Amino acid sequence: MSIYQSLQSVTDCKIGQIALFGALLVGVYKITVFTLSLSSLVLDLFVLPATDFKKYGAKKGKWAVVTGASDGIGKEYAFQLAAKGLNVVLVSRTQDKLEILATEIESKYKIETRVVAFDASTDEKSNYTALEQVITSLPVTVLINNVGQSHSIPVPFLETEEKELNDIITINVTATLKITQVVAPIIAQTVAKENKKVRGLILSMGSFGGLLPTPYLATYSGSKSFLQAWSSALAGELKPQGIDVELVISYLVTSAMSKIKHASLAIPNPKNFVKSALAGVGRRNGAQERFATSTPYWAHAFMHFGIDQTVGVYSKLANKLNFDMHKSIRVRALKKAARLAAQKKD
């Protein structure tokens, strides 16, 4: 029986038949798109080989700049890029920690390092000048924009302290953009000198807090959402110059920022997260609906894909669930703070 005959058997009304045929086409289209997206996600995460960083100058004397390099995810980026054969410029606030880390990396991986003490919360011109002086003569091909800050605990926007608000915007947005303005021209020069035999790479750290509008983390959420649009726009601008730009989205990772100490199925440690991020460069992984974006850790990828394919990241339901979760976290955090304060008095 043909499709037309099947529709006739349901209704004799021409308008009804047209409506049913239209619904059938939409259904076939939706199923096809879902199947292709899911297949692409599985290929990206589990089948395709890890990205070869030789195309970014690994083992060819090239350099990577890593911000927020002294702890957590930034430290892992520095270690793993060094392991791939890139020299590393370590950028973070504390000189002593940077020097210790530099010595460890040089000893372990037999590569070169430079350090730049850089307090991103101050937005001082001297920070950017110091960074430029260190890298201006280096063949830099990779920039990892990892420096970032969130709220100390979930907080209503109208109760957010001015310093915390300013620090989040300055660190997550202003410093990231200005550091990129310093480093990206050096990357472009390096790529041009190599006649595009190597490519450049700029990775910036995003967050589920920016993927989903997040009540009680409104300023942080807005700053990470800004980075999404900025990274995608920058990707279009720099692609003709041989520079790949991606936003890397993560859910929770064990770190000082998240205040989570123990890894789980959905919450990796920095080592496993960074491994997935570097392996998946150039692929969307869970960010199937987004340009120049990757959600690389497999559990986060399926979460991202699932949200996008069901309620949607901007839906009322997603917003309400996020609101309830972060309100609950705030209540528990305030109770804990009150207990600690009472214990100090005793």
Nearest to 321 by CA among 211, 226, 213: 213
Evaluate whether the domain defined by 51-330 bears CATH number 3.40.50.1100.
Answer: no
Residue 8 makes CB contacts below 8 A (sequence gap 6+) with 17
Domains of the chain, residue spans: 3-46, 51-330
pTM score, two decimals?
0.92
pLDDT of 287 above 80: yes
- Cα dihedral 330, 262, 147, 180 sign: negative
The DSSP secondary structure of 145-164, one letter per residue, reads E------SS---GGG--HHH
pLDDT level of residue 29 (50, 70, 90 thresholds): confident
One-letter amino acid of 295: T
The DSSP secondary structure of 169-231, one letter per residue, reads HIIIIIIHHHHHHHHHHHHHHHHHHTTTSS-EEEEEE--HHHHS--TT-HHHHHHHHHHHHHH
* Residue whose pair of structure tokens reads 């490519």 in the numeric block: 199
pLDDT over 90 percentage in the chain: 87
At 2 the pLDDT is: 57
Q: Do 292 and 247 meet the contact criterion of CB atoms below 8 Å apart?
A: yes
pLDDT (mean) for 208-234: 98
**Residues with catalytic annotation?**
220, 224
